[in-house]
Amino acid sequence: MTNRRAFIRNSALATAGVGVAASMPLAMNSCANANEKLVCALVGARGMGFTDLKTFLRQKNTECAAIADVDENILNQRLSDTEKIQGKRPKGFKDFRKLLEEPGIDVIIIGTPDHWHLLPFVYAAQEGKHIYCEKPLSNTIEEINIMERAANRYETIAQIGQWQRSGKHWLDAINFVHSGKLGKIRTVRTWSYQGWMKSIPVKPDAPVPAGVDYNFWLGPAKKRPFNPNRFHFNFRWFWDYAGGMMTDWGVHIIDFALYGMQVKSPKSVMAMGGKFAYPNDAAETPDTLQALYDFEDFTMLWDHGIGIDGGYYGRSHGVGFVGNNGTLVVDRQGWEVIPEGGKNPRMERVKLTKGDGKDLDNHMKNFIECIKDKNRNTHTNIEIAANTARVCHLGNMAYKTGRRLNWDAENTKFINDNEANKLLVPTYRAPWELPKI
């Protein structure tokens, strides 16, 4: 399974097989200059994958040629949706490996669950495709390492879906942090309190829905009976497929803490939390978690809560840079500075500066511009995304082990902790294997 070309040679012809599909091969497209059409294909079409595709198609000179999804019901819907957008129906596939055989595709958009990011990414990189991949980069640190090596080996232009990196108000806030006006920053608070997320009621195992290739959906993950709680959106709350709120929101929020402080890896991390709000529901990942990171001359706190909105500074999510002169707070709505000193403020207050809501469009525009300029330094390139995802996974691993973990960033492993190091590498279900890059 690690040799995609061998699979294709030994498989049937890569026909659409689902819905009404185009019968003519795609025109070869090298995207040699800025005026040529950029052609994409989407792998994983239900949620953010399709949002990313629509954003891609809002850019000039773009087209979607193919979509792959293991759920035939979602696939047929997205083929029709895309046809309405661009006036041309893409080809449809249930197996993304067959999609990669289609000629003329420049870009692969990956919108699958986290445990399915690695293999499409590596296979697409081997085929010389540029890649837009949803966050977090992957579900374990070794998978992240492999993806980073693959992108660099095959010189892939990659953009990862941490789209706040392209948000004007986010960047303005970071520039203010870098100005030094806050004084010495002693701690950074990062948090996500999401009141709209409720309990996941326990449900019995059930027959696989018609049109779903459930075995392929599981892929390298442990074989389990089909359960509706683990499928589609709610995969986020099960360790086999994702890392809960820490990696779902954390990669967005923690990313800007690292960016603002101009650091990469902590010396150590410890975490506490649990299923305190909904102890008996179906979810595995904690609904309440605090992780404390030691960066030697400052600390970073991650704090999340599901089912409530009681975040810091009256905001349900955000980053707070706590300096001796004042605190800068930024979230998706905007940023402001709250001075220290009360009636004798140590710095000027900066009133709320609102965002323009164009972050994702800006992110996709940056990706396309980098492709046309042959520039690998996208706003969330592979190195940025890999580093942030690792930091988030460290918090989850500290929670799982229940102790302080010391991190060797250079060798990407824990110091003198064999038990924790076992969490770094996933066990793939046969016949799937980790690619050797």
Residue 8 pLDDT class (50, 70, 90 cuts): very low
Report the CATH number of the 4-165+376-384 domain: 3.40.50.720
Give the up-direction half-sphere exposure of residue 429: CA atoms within 13 A in the CB hemisphere. 14
Determine the pLDDT at residue 222: 97
Return the percentage of the chain with pLDDT > 90, whole number. 91
Place of tokens 């012809």: 13
> Does residue 192 or residue 33 have the better pLDDT?
192
Three-class DSSP category at 268: strand
Q: Is the pLDDT of residue 15 over 70?
A: no
Residue 388 has pLDDT above 80, yes or no: yes
Query: Where along the chain do its domains lie?
Result: 4-165+376-384, 168-356+402-412
- Asked whether the predicted pLDDT for residue 13 surpasses 60, the reply is no
> What is the H or E stretch that residue 304 is in?
strand 299-306
**What does the block give as tokens for 86?**
């661009």
**Cα separation values, 162 from 134, 243, 247, 360, Å:** 8, 16, 11, 9
Do the domains at 4-165+376-384 and 168-356+402-412 have one common CATH topology? Answer: no
Per-residue pLDDT, 6:
47
User: Mean per-residue pLDDT for 31-49?
Assistant: 84
Q: Are strands 62-68 and 38-43 parallel, antiparallel or unpaired?
A: parallel
Q: What is the pLDDT of residue 261?
A: 98
Is-contact 284 237, C-beta < 8 A? yes
- Determine whether 335 is exposed, middle or buried from the number of CB atoms within 10 Å of its CB (0-12, 13-18, 19+): buried
d(CA 106, CA 367): 12
Average pLDDT of the residues in 119-129: 98
Question: Do 228 and 124 touch, CB atoms closer than 8 A?
Answer: no
pLDDT band at 1 (very low <50, low <70, confident <90, very high): very low
At 200-239, the pLDDT tens digits run: 999 999 999 999 999 999 999 999 999 999 999 999 999 9
Q: What is the pLDDT of residue 33?
A: 54
**CATH superfamily of the 168-356+402-412 domain:** Dihydrodipicolinate Reductase; domain 2 (3.30.360.10)
- Which residues lie below 8 Å from residue 139, measured CB to CB, with a gap of 6+? 114, 115, 117, 241, 242, 243, 247, 426
Instruction: Kindly report the average pLDDT of the chain as a whole number.
Output: 93
Mean pLDDT, residues 135-143: 98
Summarised one tens digit per residue, pLDDT across range 145-181 is 999 999 999 999 999 999 999 999 999 999 999 999 9
At residue 285, φ and ψ (nearest 5 deg) are -75, 155
Q: What is the pLDDT of residue 14?
A: 34
pLDDT tens track for 260-297: 999 999 999 999 999 999 999 999 999 999 999 999 99
Residue 35 has what pLDDT? Answer: 61
* Per-residue CA distances from 90 to 27, 243, 286 (Å): 13, 32, 40
Predicted TM-score (pTM) above 0.85: yes
Residue 28 scores a pLDDT above 60: no
Q: What are phi and psi of 11, to 5 degrees?
A: -100, 175
What are 331-342's pLDDT values in tens digits? 999 999 999 999
